[in-house]
Amino acid sequence: MNESPDPAWLPPFALRALGSRRVRVTGDGPVVATVRAEVLAASAELVEDAGPVDLDLVCEPDPDGDPEAWGGGGGP
């Protein structure tokens, strides 16, 4: 994975709460690839198996039109 050009971006360990789970990132748009890469980096050292997903992150446009918002979904 390429290093983020933004030095203020959080390192993978800051996403430990997500990285310790089996996460599926779905959605459309340019943010999906970024979110997927960040979650993958955070989970690379913490998740040992490829079992069932226990958290879905759904990246989709905000229904109210807020370009900065995206939705997160709960797992099963």
Q: Give the pLDDT score at 29.
A: 76
The pLDDT assigned to 73 comes to: 45
Domain membership of residue 40 as a residue range: 12-59
Residues ≥6 apart with Cβ < 8 Å to 10: none
Q: Which residue has the tokens 């994975």?
A: 1
Residue ranges in the chain modelled with pLDDT below 70: 1-10, 12-13, 45-51, 61-62, 65, 67-76
What's the structural domain count of the chain?
Answer: 1
Residue 68 lies in a domain: no
Instruction: Look at residue 41 in the predicted model and tell me its pLDDT.
Output: 76
pLDDT of residue 58: 75
What pLDDT sits at residue 76? 43
The pTM is what? 0.54
**Contacts for 20 with CB less than 8 Å, ≥ 6 apart:** 43, 46, 47
